[in-house]
Chain A
């Protein structure tokens, strides 16, 4: 297993800032993902070494929380809310339409690294259900028919 020195130093620094305390595993993961976008195997292994816990434990936490991801997110990270309110107002159909428009399944990133698609549970905007996010921008009251235009909006920015 290999890791770039610069990346390792960044992770070590974050772990140090939490005194390498295993109780802060979630905070460490949060910050590391914030910095590099995702949590690949070698990154988790370094975190495990710094915090003196088994890598299996780190992996267990990373896979438990939907927030953490082991695949790099796209430049535009699309998240479709599947919380109760969104779900009953047809979020599943919206998700299916995103999958069709982007040509990827939930949890995947497209080949060019432009888009990634994920689901999440509630962004706290249930009044706007169903809701999706692209990066930090929230789109509410969606129907499958709205999806194409949203995707096109970002595709246009890439051209």
Chain B
């Protein structure tokens, strides 16, 4: 590869031809500020519109300042990233952006984690010369959907959300519309997200630099119910929360905080602190059994059986096939997601056990996800209007709740989850990372199908952070073709293969978010630092290794509930409580 030399702030570096000034500066440890530019290295996400101009640098001999994020280095180029001209231009750019941005930082939910706010602080913006006179700020209606709040007055047109929604997720809900001051990112025809093709994956929220796209906050509903003496409060925590929550309390990414997390929830006042990992093990029993059932039929030559089986744990993915590929909705497993399985068990089995009426039980989930909020509201997951899971709060909301309660998270003594819905295995904790659900299913399917003990628990071939991975797993001579994908654009490719009849896989795992739930839209903001996601990923597999039981079917509490209550996986009662059906929600224009 051709190498060229560039000199940035009087330091010379050799870079490959085609390298941008921004990247070359990074190699020298010089951080040029950016706003619209966004990249998740190794996770296949780039947004480089070169639009905001915060990253401008001075190149002597060039008439205008150069945007570092999109300008390629030329041989022997000289660049200054902090000349007076550059610093003045950056401040002006900020003042112009802020002239069409509400100055309500104090009551903005992004306050403290807003990239625009950080830049304004960094460049010492103290007044705004472009506000006042005839100038009126753009005003748009605020939309509160079941998962996401869109306050487009705060949009800075970086278009990260648009790139994520269209290029990575191929959902196509968002697009830039209009021009000039009215320009904004919008759904088609200004419809609500529910009416649009949006699947509530929330990745637009995960990448939004400002408070234009944020999560619906359910904390105050949780507080109200915690304070009600007539309510029994039950909380469940998803696998990916325990490897990310610590970040909100200054811990380094990848710290596993399971015990402290349980202790914090107890301190907040939940009556029962349980674990979604428990229902992840239950999911494996149901989904794994369904997979084995379909495979047996398939191998016996049944032409009607739907192969590949696709996982159904990810609620954004469920929304995706309901809204975009409803004709293929029989391929995904009918098993409910772990969140909803937990809710069903809590409000049926457990409520009965502690002699609590359904209406008096409040089931809260802590999720790395925003689509889970939408999922709790699905009509099919309610009984007489009472939902199996009352509220889903994100990892970020839980962090706020802990801070509200004056809990010093760092000094908490770790405790165990409560019994019986708190025991879990290593197979459950890896549900949080891409490939984890498939690996957990294979661990169980192997032993159930062969009756033999797995020679090796770790299926390295299913792990990784590439968007599409495939592996052949040998189950006692039966060669299973498996695929693992994340990102709905990759999932779309799989669905298209199925549609064309060219899909060679027996089972496919899908997670909507890059890297899986560890990078879910409800997790602490990573601001484009993919090393954080990597650290959470490593922590997930470390948590698995550290657990004494690592196969779902060996979870004693799961074995007990089948013996006592459900009798068998995919049996009558589990079909009633633990499985679901999918709907055709495609947006269509019907002929009159």
Contact = CB atoms under 8 A, between A and B. Distances in A.
A77 B320 CA distance: 43
A5 B174 CA distance: 28
B354 interface: no
Contacts of B587: 1, 45, 55
A54 B589 contact: no
Given A45-B587, A54-B175, A64-B177, A59 B592 contact: no
Given A54-B172, A56-B196, A57-B172, A63 B188 contact: no
Contacts of A42: 589
Contacts of B502: none
B173 A56 contact: yes
B175 A57 contact: yes
B186 interface: yes
A13 interface: no
B592 A2 contact: yes
Contact of A63 (B173, B174, B178, B590): B178
Nearest to B174: A56
Interface string B187-231: 111000000110000000000000000000000000000000000
Interface string A43-80: 01110110001111111100110000000000000000
Nearest to B173: A56
Interface residues of A, number: 23
B588 interface: yes
Interface string B220-252: 000000000000000000000000000000000
A120 interface: no
Majority secondary structure of chain B interface residues (helix, strand, loop or mixed): loop
Contact of B188 (A3, A5, A54, A64): A54
A4 interface: yes
Nearest to A70: B189
B51 to A, nearest CB: 15
Contacts of B166: 54, 57
A41 B189 contact: yes
Contacts of A141: none
Interface of B: 166, 171-179, 186-189, 196-197, 587-592
Interface of A: 1-5, 8, 41-42, 44-46, 48-49, 53-60, 63-64
Query: 10 smallest A-B Cβ distances: which pairs?
Result: A54-B172, A56-B175, A55-B188, A60-B175, A56-B188, A63-B177, A59-B188, A5-B591, A45-B589, A60-B177
30 contacts: A1-B588, A1-B589, A1-B590, A2-B590, A2-B592, A3-B589, A3-B592, A4-B592, A41-B189, A44-B189, A45-B188, A45-B589, A46-B589, A49-B589, A54-B173, A54-B175, A54-B188, A55-B189, A56-B174, A56-B186, A57-B166, A57-B172, A57-B175, A58-B188, A59-B175, A59-B189, A60-B186, A63-B177, A64-B177, A64-B179
